[in-house]
Amino acid sequence: MTNGRGCIMKTFKKASALFLAALMLAAQSACQSASKTENAPAGTAAAATQGDQAAQATQEASLKPYQLNCYFLAPQVKDLPMVQEKLSELLTDRINATIKLNYFWFDSYTDKQKLVIASGEAVDTMFVQGFDFNNYVPQKAFLPLDSLIAEYGKNITANINPLYLLSATYKGEIFAIPTQKDMFGVGGVLVNKALADKYGFDFSGVKVPADFEPMLKTIKENEPGIIPLLSTQGDHTVYFTNNLLAMVSWGISHLKTDPEAKVKLSYEFPESIELTRLAEDWYKKGYVNNDVATLQDGMPQKKAQKAFMWAEQLKPGKAEEMSAQLGYELIQVYAHNDMQYYTSSMDLTASMLAINRTSKDPERAMMFIDLLFHDKEVKNLLDWGIEGVHYKKVNENQIDYADGVTAETSGYTGLGQWAMGGSQLIDYLWVNEAPDKWEKMQEFNDSCIPTSLIGFAYSQDNVKSEAAAVSAIVSTQMAPLASGIVNYDEYWPTVRKQLEDAGVNKVLEDAQRQVDEFIASQK
Amino acid sequence: MRALSSFLKELKSNKEMFLMLLPAFIFVLINNYIPMFGIILAFKDFNYLDRFGSPWVGFRNFEFMFMSEAAWRTTRNTIGYNLLFIMLNLLLGVAVAIILNELRHRLLAKLYQSVIFLPYFLSWVIIAYLAYSILSPNGLFNMSIAPFLGIEKIDWYTEPKYWPYILTAVQIWKTIGYGIVIYLAGISGIDQAYYEAAVLDGASKAQQVTQITIPLLVPMMIVTTFLALGNIFRSDFGLFYQVPMQQGLLQPTTDVLDTYIYNSLIFTGDIAMSSAAGFYQSVVGFFVVIAANWAAGKISQDNRVF
């Protein structure tokens, strides 16, 4: 419950005039250092014109040594110091900078992020996502980036889908650089292939989640000891609902198909009510694990092959990724088929790098982010570690564990490459992955269209107290509905009453007003 | 001026004592007093650009704690549970300490004491899973105990009515050892001459306990109770957050101020609002301690702590 403890007032320093002067003086030496860029991989040349190269070289020559301080969503890995040292070498060559990497994984990242921002530590780039972004930006934790992108982010604009930058916009200014990756996901299920084959299930007829029922029934009746649908606190309902609704704030959504984006409580759309009824029905029939309300981690059941299916957010290749992890074959089935898929702000802002207001050299931070979009060597070092130590190349674009190294013994493994910023399309692929994975992903990305609220970030500033009171209810009272352990008609009115007491109507009005203003401004 | 010079004199004559106090003094200064300036954030619309210069907003940051019926529920639960815990910890702590003290077999006494103290060192997450392994739908109770006794299975995690008992039992089980150690220390500090005199006068064991041990422990009981009362508006977050597994259906009996504040602010991470919450809890705790001290003084001047 703390606060500004230990806050030291730190004023943000703009790039000094001295720095600019040095930059101009050094312009003369541009010719000599131009050769440096030739070391950079082909991607650079493709993205940048001859003139840009010369300009870049100028910067490199004139840049003072600087240490970047960067926070990533990544697990604690043993060989981090080694990778950090190697990356510092590369960056010294590219932008005359060294780097301090700070890795924190899901269990601690958001807490750590809060602490770091509150303490005023000088940070250059920081992973941020979704609603955290919506919170920190109005609180002025990050720098607006438009002019920095224009000057130092040529490879970013060349390699990112424009929708991404739009989604990271707040009141007309860009505040973070999203990662170019899969632009949306489809809620669906992963199915144990052996069991599906045993009963000859055909999933091609599945159009909506209710179509899974006959298969669940068969498994329930014939496979005692197997959980037909494994769910942790109703995550299946959440994934299925996400195909239809886009969240605006906690507990508040709009239909993805709705061009007017009429906002309502997430559990008051006919579509979501139907899914809670389905969840209740499945729970009562015993298709869902009986500890669905309290189960926090389904991994042990999945590893032990005790589950027939479970819900996931799917993208091309998801089943192969999970199969490799679990050691048995899986198939993936979208829960909603034959429909138009959408990408929403929540999808596009799932992984971004922001530059903190406390950064001592935002220009250099932007140069670093720019590298992550085109410099294969830098990006893949962050992703997979050091070639020859952690991985080895089998061909131009595919890699395998280095000799004598396995998933268990590698000192740099388990990272989420999607969280390391830049463009995933320059990541190396593993030997067991389809070589055309990135082409597939491009196709997948092209199959979605944006919702009408891309570029809109709801600001709770006007209704802070109500929003806090509402989120206390949303964060605890929705899981029973999603799990299916309560009846919608009995349970929802009591929750609705609590939400109204907490002032949810004021939040809804405020959100709708902001949405309307945004949509009007887009026309 | 006179006060200062007498203080300096005091300082001079007891410099060893003050030197021993110094580390604790510095610790409290850095940890508790300097951060108090942060309180002003509770009245500001905080942003990271202006920081302490952010605009004032009066009491707006406090509003969220008093909106909706949650305010009443969390306040009732917080104070109710705390009073219950304070009382039970006091009664059971003193009782068990006296029993352990009376045990003639010193080795066994030490063993019992250690066993009782052990849970104090377990983290709430571990305790939550211990409870879960017993109470979950596939846990010890529903799979073994209920069938054995021939009673209906109970879905513990959806029924709020059981949780006051579960939480109290778990709390006592975990923390009682700490109180026992303190009271045992208090008992061993009692001059043996009292007991020798009592034995000569033919006092029974029970009389020794009620006439000597308990009266001489009263000052210590008052201090520990006061310390606990100062935190009456705070609750053991781990107990109320981890042990009920964050189940929304259990909230009528498990939601306390700390969990409510956590759930309200976990998404927004608003520094100003969390400062306001901490400030509010501290102020209430402060007045409760003042009131308790006053009440203790009413009973007997000797019982006042300050």
Question: For residue A465, which of B72, B274, B65, B266 has the smallest C-alpha distance?
Answer: B65
A11 inside 8 A of chain B by CB: no
Instruction: Give contacts of B 64-123 with A, CB under 8 A.
Output: 64, 67-70
If phi > 0 it is left, if psi is from -120 to 50 it is alpha, else beta; for residue A484 that is left
Question: Cβ(B293)–Cβ(B115) under 8 Å?
Answer: no
Measure the CA–CA gap between A198 and B257, rounded to whole angstroms.
53
Instruction: Give contacts of A 140-169 with B, CB under 8 A.
Output: 140-141
Question: Cβ(A444)–Cβ(A243) under 8 Å?
Answer: no
DSSP strands (E only) in A238-335: 245-249, 252-255, 264-265, 307-314, 330-334
Instruction: Give contacts of A 442-481 with B, CB under 8 A.
Output: 460, 464-469, 471-473, 475-480
Q: Show the domains of chain B with their CATH numbers.
A: 77-303 (1.10.3720.10)
Average model confidence (pLDDT) across chain A: 87
pLDDT exceeds 50 at position A120:
yes
Please tell me the predicted confidence (pLDDT) of residue A26.
39
Residue pairs between chains A and B whose CB atoms are closer than 8 Å:
148
pLDDT exceeds 60 at position A415:
yes
Question: Cβ(A363)–Cβ(A15) under 8 Å?
Answer: yes
Q: Considering CB atoms only, which of B46, B64, B136 is closest to A469?
A: B64
B240 contacts in chain A (CB < 8 Å): none
Measure the CA–CA gap between B62 and B81, rounded to whole angstroms.
23
Average model confidence (pLDDT) across chain B: 90
Instruction: Give contacts of A 271-310 with B, CB under 8 A.
Output: 290-291, 293-294, 296
Question: For residue A165, which of A410, A393, A369, A340 has the smallest C-alpha distance?
Answer: A369
A196 inside 8 A of chain B by CB: no
Question: Per the CB < 8 Å rule, is A476 touching B263?
Answer: yes
B251 inside 8 A of chain A by CB: yes
Measure the CA–CA gap between B172 and B218, rounded to whole angstroms.
21
A120 contacts in chain B (CB < 8 Å): 48, 51
Please tell me the predicted confidence (pLDDT) of residue A218.
96
Question: Cβ(A483)–Cβ(B157) under 8 Å?
Answer: no
Measure the CA–CA gap between A226 and A194, rounded to whole angstroms.
13
Q: Considering CB atoms only, which of A118, A131, A140 is closest to B267?
A: A131
Measure the CA–CA gap between B83 and A255, rounded to whole angstroms.
48
* Tokens at A415, concatenated: 């990272």
Q: Considering CB atoms only, which of B48, B249, B281 is closest to A141?
A: B48
β-bridge partners, A127 = A353
pLDDT exceeds 80 at position B169:
yes
pLDDT exceeds 50 at position B188:
yes
pLDDT exceeds 90 at position A58:
no
Mutate to test the interface with B, among A133, A139, A267, A463 (most CBs of B within 10 A): A139
Which uninterrupted H or E stretch holds A392?
strand A391-393
β-bridge partners, A288 = A229
Model confidence pLDDT, tens digit, residues A428-473: 998 888 888 899 999 999 999 999 999 898 888 889 899 999 988 9
B248 contacts in chain A (CB < 8 Å): 476-480
Model confidence pLDDT, tens digit, residues A323-365: 887 889 999 999 999 999 999 999 999 999 999 999 999 999 9
Cα B66 versus chain centre, distance: 24
Q: Which residues contact B186 (CB under 8 A, 6 or more apart)?
A: B97, B216, B217, B220
Q: Is B303 helix (H, G, I), strand (E, B) or coil?
A: helix
Please tell me the predicted confidence (pLDDT) of residue B266.
80
Instruction: Give contacts of A 114-133 with B, CB under 8 A.
Output: 114, 117-118, 120, 131-132
Mutate to test the interface with A, among B36, B45, B64, B69 (most CBs of A within 10 A): B64
Please tell me the predicted confidence (pLDDT) of residue A1.
37
pLDDT exceeds 80 at position A33:
no
Please tell me the predicted confidence (pLDDT) of residue B1.
66
pLDDT exceeds 70 at position B261:
yes
Question: For residue A122, which of A457, A391, A358, A377 has the smallest C-alpha distance?
Answer: A358
Instruction: Give contacts of B 142-201 with A, CB under 8 A.
Output: 157-158
- Banded pLDDT at A4 (limits 50, 70, 90): very low
B49 inside 8 A of chain A by CB: yes
If phi > 0 it is left, if psi is from -120 to 50 it is alpha, else beta; for residue A23 that is alpha
Question: Cβ(B276)–Cβ(B288) under 8 Å?
Answer: no
Q: Nearest chain A residue to B54 by CA: give it.
A: A139
- A488-518 burial: b if 16+ Cβ within 10 Å, else e: beebbeebeebbebbbbebbbebbbebbeeb
Cα B97 versus chain centre, distance: 18
Decide which of B117 and B226 is more confident.
Answer: B117
Please tell me the predicted confidence (pLDDT) of residue B173.
95
Please tell me the predicted confidence (pLDDT) of residue A250.
87
Q: How far is B153 from chain A (nearest CA, A)?
A: 13
- A234-248 burial: b if 16+ Cβ within 10 Å, else e: bbbbbbbbbbbbbbb
Q: Show the domains of chain A with their CATH numbers.
A: 17-182+348-375 (3.40.190.10), 186-343 (3.40.190.10)
Q: Considering CB atoms only, which of A118, A357, A471 is closest to B263?
A: A471
Decide which of B86 and A2 is more confident.
Answer: B86
A126 contacts in chain B (CB < 8 Å): none
**What pTM was computed for the model?**
0.82
Over range B257-271, report the average pLDDT. 85
Q: How far is A153 from chain B (nearest CA, A)?
A: 24
β-bridge partners, A173 = A170
Please tell me the predicted confidence (pLDDT) of residue A47.
42
Over range B149-159, report the average pLDDT. 91
Considering only A184-188, A208-212, B37-41, B180-184, which range has the smallest mean pLDDT? Answer: B37-41
pLDDT exceeds 80 at position A36:
no
Please tell me the predicted confidence (pLDDT) of residue A44.
40
Q: Considering CB atoms only, which of B137, B261, B275 is closest to A3?
A: B275
Q: How far is B64 from chain A (nearest CA, A)?
A: 4
Its ipTM equals: 0.82
pLDDT exceeds 60 at position A24:
no
